[in-house]
Amino acid sequence: MATEKWIAGSGVGLTWSALGTTVYNSLASGNAILDGTSITNGTALDIFADVSLHLASAAFVAPNFIGVYLYPLCDDGSTYGDGRFASAAAGPPGSQYFAGNIEIPATTAAQNGVLSRIILPPGTFEFVLWNKGGVNWASSGNTLKYRTYNRAIA
């Protein structure tokens, strides 16, 4: 009988790897921004990713979630997704790029959250985060990390 299991991806694998850091600092409530770190999945062809978000302490209020979007690199080789959010701008991003939400409590504290099992496209892409935490993010200490994996049948 075959057993299905998770295996480390050929890209970054199961080690959490840093994406944007300073790009998320002071992100206004309601705004979204492109991460700025390209992920190349043309050789590894990993199928899944998790993202781990850490937000420094702020007075988060309802609606209290962070939208996560995946913007693929277009055929022009320089535009990601619909070309929006290279700098912070009012969201939301296009629904065709939606990966999921990270819900956060409405409280004044640092926040951590993980979005699991994001399906990755082949090729190059970047993540976009949409701040729906009800407050501008802190001026420092905000990070996004990711890891990749696949399924195997043994």
Question: Domains along the chain?
Answer: 18-145 (2.60.120)
Q: Which residues contact 148 (CB under 8 A, 6 or more apart)?
A: 8, 9, 10, 11, 12, 13, 14, 41, 44, 46, 48, 49, 120
**Average pLDDT, stretch 28-55?**
96
What is the pTM assigned to this prediction? Answer: 0.94
Rounded to 5°, the CA angle 126-44-9 comes to 90
User: Radius of gyration (Cα) for the chain, nearest Å?
Assistant: 16
Q: Which residues contact 139 (CB under 8 A, 6 or more apart)?
A: 25, 26
How far apart CA 108 and CA 58 sit, in angstroms, is 5
Please report which confidence band the pLDDT of residue 90 belongs to, taking 50, 70 and 90 as the band edges.
very high
pLDDT in tens, 91-129: 999 999 999 999 999 999 999 999 999 999 999 999 999
Q: Which residues contact 130 (CB under 8 A, 6 or more apart)?
A: 31, 32, 66, 67, 68, 69, 91, 92, 93
The strand pair at 39-41 and 89-90 is best described as unpaired
